[in-house]
Structure 1
């Protein structure tokens, strides 16, 4: 372990000290003396730091903590280090990640939920205060090399476009010198939307050529580490490796899935029993722990439709394969550090899950998880699911497993991701590996800890103080507790004695072994729930000194103790910006009601050829309303072909393009239902406007509408779209102008053939009343009016 040196490091950047002393006239004068130039470095002995964050993995998923998903490399790390069995997260991805990166509670850093549902309330606005500098920035300003690979999901949604601002991006204010990964909450593992720094890039090869995102991220991480050690061997690094696996969509090569064929025919109830037994054998739960029962909201395996069970088994086979595949690539990264002979001097945190296993896949799972997010799970009938059995995990899927599997992956605890009240949502297994700093190999640690404890642990290990000033701004103190005290003392009294929990109004408080909790909302019920009054929520009480799994509710036997903890929760909630509690649903999706900014304002947006990788929040919202889209083009003599504008991709979206010379409007509902409206005649050569007008039926969300196509104001085709997606087209696909990146909305073209072959001057999207145009043509004067309105 490093010790602090004599450099003043509490004010960052470290102030430069000017030379004080004799200045000679001639450099050859023997009195000419200047101290040598020294590159900034951390204190001597500061370790490299590697933080590996697995996504959406429950405590009972990976074999290193007793689960059914084989993770030999995780086990190898644990055999050479420590397993922490009472480590906790926030129950959701963005909040856990921001807490990890800042050492503060998620509401303290504005991340009370994911960025897409941010509100104006301080605890939920997704804006990181400059009084809470991230760990990576502190390390960089102390001389560390810093890099992030994989998932970000901390950037406010109105700042996710290629136009920035980039102060919340990893290489902006995040403190990372290099970033390779994705900005949103999830990504297609076969065809991801990638950024290098702040520049959108395309994957280096195709799925047909063997591409998979986890492998790509690992390749980049290994290359970066090798370069650092080859060129700056004395400079430690901080690497944050967050691959996005095993978050949905569950994508993995078929040969990995085949390894698990038939392994889950026993179902989720039996799987919990098997995992529970194995966990006791490993000692990662208490010897007298109880296996918590299944809640009535979760169906028994035996009650599931027998016709659907092959699909349910396949869902779990895919997930287990995805986890093992991820373990394999983490192993490659660890082996690379060993080959560079720096593994012993590297502090590794392996956090198996940023929250509990995800129950966002419906009671039967999903072939395209966007169906549930759009309130349309009924489209995925058992017959449809069975027809896709062999495609789960492949390029044509965007799948998620059933709620029952999520519950099983959280063995032995109650509930799942999003449920911050119970350990099923927040308890995640952690492995710490650091041969130079941890004496015991294969040890277990039972001290209570939380994801906000990582940052202060890293600073203490590096011999660095928490900064008081960063970039001239006074810093608030870390809210976590360093775990270093427990590295070499298994019996040390735990120091993190109090911790509140809250997510979607599911609440909990831990204090000196006791916990009081209340569940307010069920994760897989995405909309239309009637929320109870907060004061009507039923609280439970558990004595952790005797009850490892929150199995024995003592609330009725010990009401005074319960009230004590409820008051403590309220005190902590006020302290850390948890209030006001907010259980609104659809209202938080609407930016006007939520109070967050919009990147694009008004009812019209003008886009230009070559603009691409525009996130859904970077484009006016056409959902559940009438709209028109107009492309001003110049068509070559051989006729038009290619995309004018496309939003979304294979799993949901829309596109206006030229096919065999004719204009075509294509609406793709979740990759299940498709609606095509094609013009009757080819687009004339020379200058032209192609316009599609969509008139929404109204009457709620996801309704249909009529479509008309025009060439320079003349109607050339019409048709109907019977249903639409009301909330989101995609979590990772984007909008492109003049071509389409990622997967394609329509099968009429590929990414490589999508580029428009003529000249595309501009594309304009108009909403509502602004979409109504008597002559169905946008004149130059109208374009100027729209442009001036946006000044």
Structure 2
């Protein structure tokens, strides 16, 4: 609330309260008593509602709105009411794009050079947004908007991603959103998601068998929040950031949506590229003289794949297509709700179809379970295994990703994929903008160059809100983006965003006045193998060569040298330097100056603690460890989980089954070792323990499990192979229960709570750690899978 005034000074936020300077009477009943009424804080008159929809891991050539093979009628609907932008760009990776989008500054400016798991102490790489770069949501909130985020957030520094924070880099409260419902991290199981509401972990309302899927759940929450907001504050605009996990792996979708595409990809990815390219020309989203670039080096042709795998590969793409259309469907539900409320015409809608290019992180053949990739255990998933488990793709029995060839096809007509910031395949994402009450054009196309940092200044200009000079007393760094409003009603408006750098783990480029100079440092599926100075630069006239198909570096060396120099100037200006392509070092927090949540090899956990990610607990991989707990068993006996880590696709659990102690080690859902005690636990208070004695001799080896009731051994068994790197990207350590998918076949996803009383659980890890044997290239590849 603010006192009534003739004008509101919005340059300094929060808007300062003005002191009353009129006469003050002794008695409130005195006729001379008069104070101006309190007025609500509202944005300038005519400020629209704002909805930003950011879809995950979608290439330029996927959606039907941009000529792709996947039906996206809701996106098409928004395009019919507004504008398609054919030269809108991202950073080539998830966390950096999101941080830049929400801050209106380049990703290195806000510390997000890569994903949070690779943060260092260098300013451009810290994963910490400086307080002189207040996010758009904070600025809008302090100007009278209601603000809410739904879906994915992968911008929380890894050492702050725990239930105890700190929360100043979380969406709410630190990011300016008054409400947050979603997940923290690069991805989540869509059937069994790891959800936060605000800063508190919450559990899904049901199981997959009961009809639960996170895409529908987050949409329900967004619709409910919007209806409440408009019911209680109809004159107050909203800013909603709707960021599904779709279509990032795992590609989870109800089977009927995937089945809609049965047979539509049997021709393979090379033919799909050609078909998409033709449709793109018909739609006018690429010029008639555009050239379809050759298949990028290292990506196999469809005909080079094992013919027996073709049905599996086709199904991978059917599942992905169904997943994208499913996300489009639920986006349409949100749009329908706005329409029913009568506010859609006065809502500035951005639909950004991808936070980067399509993901080439699924191997050359794809996978039924990303953990095979994360743990360097692809030998367990040969062609025969893929064929046998084709029917699992997309279901709760998988954690799947598609083959790299499909990613390339979804980036048609451009070279390369996600992670490759040097080429448009990694950074060019189809984007749609509509605002019926603010944009006269309908169903038109815009070709002006734009970047994700342009969104925030566009929103402020549409709302009539100035960039703040100070926020919470801190002088602000100006926005680095260019408002796109000048293009809204003028297709021929002269381009205003003239220069833009790109950089992602050494892959880099510079755009300047219709030319690009680019240097690809590494493939998205490989580590860095050479020095930055050994990279080969290419030069493209992208006004005449839309797809970067004709390298002019040899013909115009002077122009190339000028652009290389300009890249270095921009790199120095925006905290890109020193570029960091290291692998192993960036995983050692001590070496790179990144804080850690936890040190040591002993930890005590307590009942009710749950959703603790792997950074929050003592590491037990590639070493011996013990889980000890003080429990009280009632007279009728006990059942349920004492401690579990991971889920159905990999992890371990210490629990009581049919009254007897039990331990399960689940090795990527292929090998599941279950050890049961010989006798039931008697009633009373006691200490129980599971000890895993690691065989040693390298990574991922087996070991012997021994169960103890007090000092008495009550059971023993073998685990032949263990998980060396990562139990799960999103499933967690839970005390007194196993939330999400179950580690052990002895119990289900619900109803597995311990029926006795747990006083505490202690983890003790041995010193036989083999992490020094992990290949740096694999560690980098595994980390990049997390975004």
Q: TM-score, normalised by structure 1?
A: 0.95
| Deviation (angstroms), 1:69 | 0.6
Deviations 1:371-411 (A, max 9, x none): 11221222111111111111211111111100000000000
Q: Shift of the alpha carbon at 1:249?
A: 0.7
Q: Is the 8 A contact 2:521 2:528 kept in 1?
A: no
**Separation of aligned partners in 1, 2:417 and 2:732:** 30
**Aligned match for 1:541, one of 539, 542, 564:** 539
**Whole-angstrom CA distance in 1 between matches of 2:533 and 2:158:** 32
**1:278 Cα offset (Å):** 0.2
Match of 2:784 in 1: none
Question: Residue by residue, what CA displacement relative to the aligned partner does 1:627-656 show, whole Å, maximum 9, x if unpaired?
Answer: 222112122223332111001111111111
Residue 198 (1) aligns with residue 199 (2): yes
Per the TM alignment, residue 676 of structure 1 is displaced from its structure 2 partner at its CA by: 2.3
Structure 1 unaligned runs (5+)? 772-791
CA distance, structure 1, for counterparts of residue 645 and residue 18 of structure 2: 53
Deviations 1:448-506 (A, max 9, x none): 11000100110011011111111111111111111111111111111111111111211
**How far apart in 2 are the matches of 1:423 and 1:269?**
18
Distance of 1:418 and 1:296 partners within structure 2: 15
The offset of 1:705, in angstroms, is 2.8
Contact preservation (8 Å) 2:277, 2:413:
yes
Which structure 2 residues correspond to residues 219-618 of structure 1 after superposition, within 5 A? 219-525=220-526, 529=527, 531-618=529-616
- How far off is 1:28 after superposition? 3.3
Alpha-carbon shift at residue 588 of structure 1 (Å)? 2.4
**Where do 1:656-695 residues align within 5 Å?**
656-695=654-693
How far residue 581 of structure 1 moved from its aligned partner, in angstroms, is 1.9
2:774 corresponds in structure 1 to none
Deviations 1:700-723 (A, max 9, x none): 432333332222133333333222
| Distance of aligned partners of 1:278 and 1:769 in 2 relative to their CA distance in 1, 3 Å threshold | closer
Provide the rounded CA distance (Å) in 1 between the counterparts of 2:577 and 2:670. Answer: 41
Q: Match of 1:626?
A: 624
Aligned residues of 1:189 and 1:251 also touching (Cα < 8 A): yes
Cα shift at 1:348? 0.3
Matching of residue 75 in structure 1 with residue 76 in structure 2? yes
Q: Give the whole-Å Cα distance in 2 for the aligned partners of 1:276 and 1:530.
A: 32
Alignment deviations for residues 116-171 of structure 1 (CA, whole Å, 9 cap, x no partner): 22222221111111111110000000000000111111111111111111111111
In the alignment, does 2:191 pair up with 1:181? no
| Equivalence for 1:37 | 38
The answer to whether the Cα contact below 8 Å between 2:357 and 2:417 also exists between their aligned partners in 1 is yes
Which sits farther off after the overlay, 618-627 or 357-366?
Answer: 618-627
Give the corresponding residue for 2:48: 47
Moved more, 540-549 or 377-386: 377-386
Alpha-carbon distance in structure 1 between the residues aligned to 2:662 and 2:117: 32
Where 2:308 maps in the other structure, the secondary structure is coil
Q: Are 2:705 and 1:710 equivalent residues in the alignment?
A: no
Separation in 2, partners of 1:698, 1:592: 26
Question: Aligned partners of 1:580 and 1:724: how far apart in 2?
Answer: 38
Q: Is the 8 A contact 1:49 1:238 kept in 2?
A: yes
Does the Cα contact within 8 Å between 1:56 and 1:247 map onto a contact in 2?
yes
The 8 Å contact of residues 623 and 768 in structure 2, kept in 1 or not, is answered as: no
Report the CA distance between 1:226 and its aligned residue: 1.2
Q: 1:671 to 1:36 in 2, by over 3 A?
A: same
- Partner residue in 2 for 1:774: none
**Would the aligned equivalents of 1:604 and 1:770 in 2 still touch at CA under 8 Å?**
no
Residue number in structure 1 paired with 2:26: 25
SS of the aligned residue for 2:628 comes to: strand
What residue in structure 1 maps to residue 121 of structure 2?
A: 120
Q: Could you tell me how far apart the structure 2 residues matched to 1:379 and 1:498 are?
A: 47
Alignment check: 8 A CA contact 1:644 1:737 kept: yes
Residues in 2 aligned to 1:524 and 1:435: alpha-carbon distance in whole angstroms:
43
Q: 2:6 and 2:27 mapped to 1: Cα distance?
A: 35
Give the deviation of 1:433 after TM superposition. 0.4
Q: CA deviation at 1:237?
A: 0.5
Q: Secondary structure at the match of 2:332?
A: helix
Contact 1:603 1:770 in 2 (8 A): no
What secondary structure does 1:668 align onto? strand
SS of equivalent residue, structure 1 residue 307: helix
Deviation at residue 696 of structure 1 after TM alignment: 2.8
Aligned residues: 765
Is the Cα contact below 8 Å between 1:117 and 1:594 reproduced in 2?
Answer: no
Instruction: Give the direction of change, closer, same or farther, for the CA distance of 1:428–1:770 in structure 2 (3 Å limit).
Output: closer
Contact 2:528 2:582 in 1 (8 A): no
Partner SS, residue 560 of structure 1: helix
Alpha-carbon distance, 1:769 to partner: 4.3
Shift of 1:338: 1.1
For structure 2, the 5+ residue unaligned runs are 770-787
CA distance in 2, matches of 1:531, 1:343: 50
Equivalent pair of 2:188/2:245 in contact (CA under 8 Å): yes
Contact 1:368 1:651 in 2 (8 A): yes
CA contact (8 A) 2:649 2:666 kept: yes
Q: Which of 644, 647, 655 is the equivalent residue of 1:646?
A: 644
User: What is the deviation of 1:669?
Assistant: 1.6
| Contact map agreement 1:704 1:722 (CA 8 A) in 2 | yes
Q: Distance in 2 between matches of 1:751 and 1:610?
A: 17
Contact 1:5 1:43 in 2 (8 A): no
Secondary structure of 2:307's counterpart equals: coil
Q: Which whole-Å CA distance do the structure 1 matches of 2:763 and 2:392 have between them?
A: 36
Deviation of 1:699 (Å)? 4.0
**Secondary structure in 2 matching 1:681:** coil
1:21, CA displacement in angstroms?
A: 0.8
TM-score, normalised to structure 2, is: 0.95
Q: 1:706 to 1:560 in 2, by over 3 A?
A: farther
How many angstroms apart in 2 are the aligned matches of 1:29 and 1:758? 68
Once the two structures are TM-superposed, the CA of residue 105 in structure 1 deviates from its matched residue by: 0.7
**CA offsets per residue over residues 44-72 of structure 1, 9 Å max, x none?**
00000000000000000000000001001
| Alpha-carbon distance, 1:530 to partner | 5.6
Change (3 A) 1:753 1:338: closer
> What secondary structure sits across from 1:308 in the alignment?
helix
Following the alignment from structure 2 to structure 1, what is the Cα–Cα distance between the partners of residues 722 and 88?
A: 43
What CA RMSD, in Å, does the superposition of the two structures yield over aligned residues? 1.6
Once residues 583 and 681 of structure 2 are traced to their aligned partners in structure 1, the CA distance between those partners, rounded to angstroms, is 44
